[in-house]
Structure 1
Amino acid sequence: MPVQMPQQAVNAPYMPAQRGMPHPNDAALRRSRKPTDKNIPDGIEDVVIGEGVDQYKSLRDLEKRLDAATVRKRLDIQDSISKTVKKYRTMRIWITNTVESQSWQSAGSNPGSGRYNVRIEGRLLDDHSDPTVPEDEEESGDAAGDDAMDQDKDDEDAKKADSKKQPQRFSHFFKNITIDFDKPANAIPDEVKPVTWSKPQLSPNATSSPPSAEFDSIQFSRASQENLNVTIGLVRDETPERYKLSKELAEVLDVEEETRSGIVLGIWDYIRAMELQEDEEKRQVRCDHRLRSIFGREQMFFPQIPEMIGPHTSPMEPIKLPYTIRVDEDFHKDPTPTIYDIQVAVEDPLRQKMMALTQNPQYTSGLRQIASLDDQVALIVQALTHSRARHSFYTALSKDPATFLKRWVNSQRRDLETILGDAAAAGGNGNGNEFRRGGADSAWDTPVAREAVRYLLAKPEASGAR
């Protein structure tokens, strides 16, 4: 017995809606029938009163120039964005430590219970803030001459407001932070165990970093009653990543650190400057003594360069900052922080403005409005074309009605005979000399005649007669 396959039930209210949905080809057919020509047809200026046609043509020329300039500027902006130009700013890092329960702080403290607390804080110099200066001193220092420095304060407030809009915190510039201890002979393993922090990986759908990845300072505390030497390692977090170049590659590019795209562009500029391309095959490159020291060959194809620069690049070494954790009494009578200035890569602020221009929703809505106006103009031009055709028809009819109607009727009859392939149906007798003659060059040996025969055989009465 055959097994009947189960059929999925279709919701009854959904069937009429599905039946009324337009076919996908209908939209394409409507688009193909939509008029697109916005040029005024020839001869309109002879029948239109005024200078409207000339003004419309001048506006069309202006529109073309504006469109060309807009497209060129957008391409320039997109090209600038793709280059990802980086700028470098100075970040100041303060390293300080405090102590508690040391033997010199309290006579009744337990031996070996002393601890220290280390704080590492980094900020860009443009923040105009120094964590080592108390807030009271800053306020007292600013109290003098308030009237003369109101404008400066307003500028600083504006800069601070801008920095709050787009904060770039200390952890933003690094993906790993490690504190390595120098291990003395009598050190306890737990007291000199390295301290590490790694930036958490963002999920593909995440819109912002987690709170653990955004901070301005990092702290750690341990037990110790002796001074300790540590090395703070900072691994940069840059996109795109920079690499350290070999001596041979650095000699060609004249830089010691560069991204992969920058390396390829630099080699390409060097090849063009030294005219090392072959005349017939531009992708073929002749290697001079500098390129031979990098690639080890006399000739090579340019598309092979990105693969062959790998041995000449290495990851950037982390930034290493030495520091001594002081727990003695002499130092903490007047503690001073250890300060380092390092260079960090930041995004060009102009790039963010250009990104805002390319992603502006008003631009998309403006394009839709312009497209709607273009459709209306095309419809008006189509109406003018039809009006011009009617005007020409009636003008020729008014000059010589008899000759015009005779010529027009003959033209319509020939068109009808060609379409139907039946001279009798169009009012003719079909007994002309051109229809009597047969052979290879006759009227019957033409694509029109073959199409007419197929049309005639496809009629219901013809199929019934067969």
Structure 2
Amino acid sequence: MAPAQYPISQAHAIVQAQFQAQLQAHGLTFNPTAKRFPPKPPAPFKPVELLPTARRKRPKPNEKHLPEKASAILPESALYTQLLDLEARLDAALARKKVDIHEALKNPLCVQKTLRIFVFNTFSNQNRSEPPTWTLKIIGRVLDDGEDPDHPGFFQRPSPYPKFSAFFKRVTISLDKRLYPDSNIITWENSRSSATHEGFEVKRKGDQEFSAQIRLEMNYSPEKFMLSPALREVLGVQVDTRARIVSAIWHYVKARKLQNQSDPSFFHCDQPLQNVFGEDKVKFSMVSQKISHHLFPPQVILLEHKIVLSGSSPVGSACYDVMVDVPFPIQRELSALVANVDKNREVDACDESICGIIRKIHEHRRRRAFFVGFSQSPLEFIKALVESQNKDMKILVGESGSGHNADKERKSDFFKQPWVDDAIVRFLNRKPAVGSNVPGST
């Protein structure tokens, strides 16, 4: 859309003609209707989201330091400075230890313990008029050293180890399809459950005995694999993680001095390794890829329990032992230590109190400097103070530092300089504001 044309006044036309004549005398031209580019708008502010539970910022280290002038007044403050240096070294040491602990927690050490699994069933109302029911229960617990699982309070005592369901990726219970055609398969998956459990139970109505199949798939973290017979013969390991398997191959090569002397990135294969890789020479970087077809999911645990509905209840208290990996006891202590170190509310409160005291010391030092300066030379001090305040006042009202001189601008000769004509034309040709009463606006 073309810009609107506004009628110009006679004074405006005279000034514009004089200005163009001056420009032509210097070989220049001026087009007042030329398109002007509007000033670039400022970049929008990035919105800041205010969180209701925003954490308080920790005081900066320099906020806790005394100023040099205050230190000179208080010789005893050297002890405080030494304490700050000691605190800085202590914080640096704690930060390094926290990093080491976090790295250790990423790859926790594990020990093998025995997980004892109990499988049994209970029943009720088998010889009564009410509908008969039965309940299949699968519970388990990690055995600690010297712990008696036959003790009556075995399951009542708190355990420091993970609960039973944490050791399994998937649990599948298969019932007799003829008796329960619509719900004969019951499946529990660890990925769909956020909580861990001490065990599982399945309750159904029925008065006929049958055999239930239980399938337990282990949950390894990190993931473990079962080795092929050829790789098992080389390493003597049946189930392990990929990283440990690759490390074991490296130790095997190093122990038998199979590394290529001319090119250390390769190693020669003896007969057992040739049965695994099918080559005479293999590159170390390709070991993890080449052993993939020698790694299989670990075997599942298959249990069978006969649902018995007569005799004493519970029935069939069979138990099975499975070796599982549990976190090393020190891991729990390290986690608790990191949690306690992070909860430094008391330290933060002390830091805030110290910063408040330092700010008060700053204020008292300034007051002391004021009175000391006044007591030494009252007249010169008052003159310097008045001059400083006068300069500050001029800056505030815009008389100093803005390039304007009010006394000079009051003289009539000030507006007879060569730049005045150009300034008037620019003023008259500026884009009028909406709703303004300046010349050129409607």
Q: Distance in 2 between matches of 1:2 and 1:306?
A: 71
Structure 2 residue matching 1:190: 3-state secondary structure: coil
| Cα shift at 1:174 | 1.1
Q: Is the 8 A contact 1:276 1:287 kept in 2?
A: yes
Name structure 1 gaps, 5 residues minimum: 15-65, 139-156, 202-208, 370-466
Which of 257, 263, 288 matches 1:281? Answer: 263
Q: Is the 8 A contact 1:191 1:224 kept in 2?
A: no
Change (3 A) 1:240 1:275: same
TM-score normalized with structure 2 length: 0.51
What residue number does 1:190 align with? 181
Q: Any residues of structure 2 matched to 1:223-372 within 5 Å, and which?
A: 223-328=205-310, 331-332=311-312, 335=315, 337-353=317-333, 360-361=341-342
| Cα shift at 1:357 | 6.8
- Counterpart amino acid of residue 347 in structure 1: P
RMSD in angstroms over aligned alpha carbons? 4.7
Name structure 2 gaps, 5 residues minimum: 4-35, 46-89, 352-442
Structure 1 residue matching 2:259: 3-state secondary structure: coil
Q: Is the 8 A contact 1:182 1:192 kept in 2?
A: no
Identity percentage over the alignment?
29
- Counterpart amino acid of residue 293 in structure 1: N
Q: Distance in 1 between matches of 2:256 and 2:282?
A: 15
Change (3 A) 1:290 1:81: farther
Change (3 A) 1:242 1:131: same
Change (3 A) 1:298 1:332: same
Which of 113, 119, 122 matches 1:95? Answer: 119
Q: Distance in 2 between matches of 1:240 and 1:79?
A: 15
What residue number does 1:373 align with? none
Q: Distance in 1 between matches of 2:313 and 2:118?
A: 19
Change (3 A) 1:286 1:235: same
| Cα shift at 1:352 | 4.3
| Cα shift at 1:192 | 6.6
Structure 1 residue matching 2:144: 3-state secondary structure: helix
Q: Distance in 1 between matches of 2:151 and 2:38?
A: 78
Q: Distance in 1 between matches of 2:124 and 2:203?
A: 10
Q: Is the 8 A contact 1:286 1:299 kept in 2?
A: yes
Write out per-residue CA displacement over residues 134-165 of structure 1, whole angstroms, 9 at most, x where no aligned residue.
x7xx9xxxxxxxxxxxxxxxxxx9x94xx4xx
Q: Distance in 2 between matches of 1:225 and 1:249?
A: 50
TM-score normalized with structure 1 length: 0.49
Q: Is the 8 A contact 2:161 2:326 kept in 1?
A: no
- Counterpart amino acid of residue 95 in structure 1: V
What residue number does 2:133 align with? 115
In terms of mean alpha carbon deviation, does 76-85 or 191-200 score higher?
76-85
- Counterpart amino acid of residue 288 in structure 1: D
Which of 189, 200, 204 matches 2:191? Answer: 200
Aligned residues: 274
- Counterpart amino acid of residue 318 in structure 2: T
| Cα shift at 1:318 | 1.4
Q: Is the 8 A contact 1:96 1:337 kept in 2?
A: yes
- Counterpart amino acid of residue 92 in structure 1: R
In terms of mean alpha carbon deviation, does 215-224 or 349-358 score higher?
349-358
Q: Is the 8 A contact 1:229 1:323 kept in 2?
A: yes
Which of 134, 138, 142 matches 1:124? Answer: 142
